[in-house]
């Protein structure tokens, strides 16, 4: 890992500027796949699935196979997945927005109405490792929000993913992945139903496809390389190094950063990373290319830089840092706040914004699976009460039709039956 000073403005600038630009070649390829699946449906979808994912079995997984996966896994893992699901469900219940009604003035009431989406698509990757936890993290909040149908796609669901699908009781599970699966979910085919929203992480092709279909189908966010920032004013360097390696093992492009006021701690962390580093694998490549420790003069400088980076995961050793760190996908506090706990067991969602998107949103939650809209109710008296507000603004904007639509009602001597407010 490199150690740099905060005064190295060029290096620090690169940490902050993590623009996630799609490779034009990937964008063109994904565009062709999406357009073809949209136009030709199942025939194109299955052709791509056989070509890219070597699909041989039926595209849809039946419930007997899900239950077989559940029986096949180790009992300890089965218990762990069920416990994780219980914790995710417990947190998700607290996240669903609530409806309300408010009187603005006499005769005018506004209601917030919260309705679940009807059908959502959950993407579960199958790259280097099986990810049953991603199925739990995407399907459970949707179900808690009241979504009627959870459609899961995974290019190669192994027994652990099948077990997670059985535990959650997903509506349907397909052996499909890549841009072709995203297109099928967004537009529907003869086999795969069209969904209202697509959630879940994926590779560059999946991310590009989600960006492409976003004007026609809801998506959660653009997922780039995973990230961790650790703000360390002290702490055990071996533990900090272990957290960096844990995050880096996801992807050779993963970003692992430490911000500290202690130059000696920076040196000890670097030594521990070298001592614990795997001989091969993505963690080694990630930390060599993207691992960095920034030495700041003050804790406030470290916090300010962390907020500028707006990382996916922020780990810190002090409560005051956690309170001041307002731009992160999730914050883990204290020496025992291992990022892996959030990935699997705390119930907080691990589908999180990357690439600085934590500036404007947090992680996936049950709130992502509802439609929130307003209902406005006015009586004649209520409209009359609002007229002194409506008419001058409408006239000032030159929208005389707007003003007249109010005046015509107020001039009328006829009394219309008012809706109950």
Query: SS3 of 186, please?
Result: helix
Active-site annotation holder among 312, 373, 397, 404: 312
Q: How far apart are CA 160 and CA 81, in angstroms?
A: 9
The pairing of strands 255-260 and 227-232 is parallel
Report the distance separating Cα 24 and Cα 306, nearest Å. Answer: 30
312 is catalytic: yes
For 121, list phi and psi in degrees, rounded to 5: -110, 130
Burial (CB count <10 Å: 0-12, 13-18, 19+), residue 350? buried
Task: Tell me if 398 sits within 8 A of 383, measured CB to CB.
Answer: no
Q: In what order do the strands lie in the sheet with 292-295?
A: 2-5, 292-295, 255-260, 227-232, 313-316, 330-333
How far, in Å, CA of 135 to CA of 397, rounded? 50
Distance CA 157, CA 174 (A): 9
Residues 313, 319, 371, 416: which is the catalytic one?
Answer: 313
Q: Give 209's contacts (C-beta < 8 A, 6+ positions apart).
A: 30, 33, 34, 178, 179, 182, 183
* Residue showing tokens 């009992």: 75
Residue 247 has a CB neighbour count (10 Å cut-off) of 28
Residue positions annotated with a catalytic role: 312-313
């Amino acid at each position: 890992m490199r150690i740099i000073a905060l005064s190295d403005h060029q290096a620090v600038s690169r940490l902050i500027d993590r623009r996630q630009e799609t490779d034009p070649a990937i964008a063109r390829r994904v565009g062709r796949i999406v357009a073809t699946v949209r136009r030709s449906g199942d025939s194109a979808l299955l052709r791509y699935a056989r070509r890219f994912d070597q699909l041989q079995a039926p595209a849809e997984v039946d419930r007997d196979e899900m239950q077989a996966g559940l029986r096949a896994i180790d009992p300890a893992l089965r218990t762990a997945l069920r416990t994780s699901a219980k914790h995710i469900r417990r947190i998700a219940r607290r996240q669903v927005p609530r409806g309300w009604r408010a009187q603005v003035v006499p005769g005018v009431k506004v209601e917030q109405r919260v309705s679940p989406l009807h059908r959502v698509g959950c993407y579960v990757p199958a790259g280097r490792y099986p990810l049953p936890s991603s199925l739990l993290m995407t399907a459970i909040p949707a179900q808690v929000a009241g979504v009627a149908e959870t459609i899961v796609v995974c290019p190669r669901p192994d027994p652990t993913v099948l077990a997670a699908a059985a535990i959650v009781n997903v509506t349907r599970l397909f052996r499909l992945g890549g841009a072709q699966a995203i297109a099928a979910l967004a537009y529907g085919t003869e086999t795969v139903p069209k969904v209202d929203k697509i959630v879940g992480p994926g590779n560059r092709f999946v991310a590009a496809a989600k960006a492409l279909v976003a004007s026609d189908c809801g998506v959660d966010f653009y997922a780039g390389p995973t990230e961790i920032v650790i703000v360390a004013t002290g702490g055990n360097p071996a533990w900090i190094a272990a957290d960096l390696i844990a995050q880096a093992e996801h992807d050779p492009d993963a970003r692992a950063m430490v911000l500290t006021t202690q130059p000696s701690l920076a040196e000890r962390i670097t030594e521990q990373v070298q001592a614990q580093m795997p001989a091969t694998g993505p963690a080694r490549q990630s930390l060599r290319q993207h691992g960095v420790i920034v030495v700041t003069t003050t804790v406030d400088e470290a916090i300010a830089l962390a907020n500028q980076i707006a990382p996916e995961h922020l780990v810190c050793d002090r409560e005051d840092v956690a309170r001041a760190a307002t731009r992160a996908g999730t914050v883990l506090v204290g020496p025992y706040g291992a990022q892996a706990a959030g990935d699997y067991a705390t119930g907080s969602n691990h589908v999180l914004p990357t690439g600085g998107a934590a500036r404007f949103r947090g992680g996936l939650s049950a709130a992502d699976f509802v439609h929130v809209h307003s209902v406005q109710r006015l009586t004649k008296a209520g409209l009359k009460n609002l007229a002194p507000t409506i008419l001058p603004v409408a006239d000032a904007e030159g929208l005389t039709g707007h003003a007249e639509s109010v005046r015509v009602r107020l001039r009328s001597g006829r009394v219309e039956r008012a809706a109950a407010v």
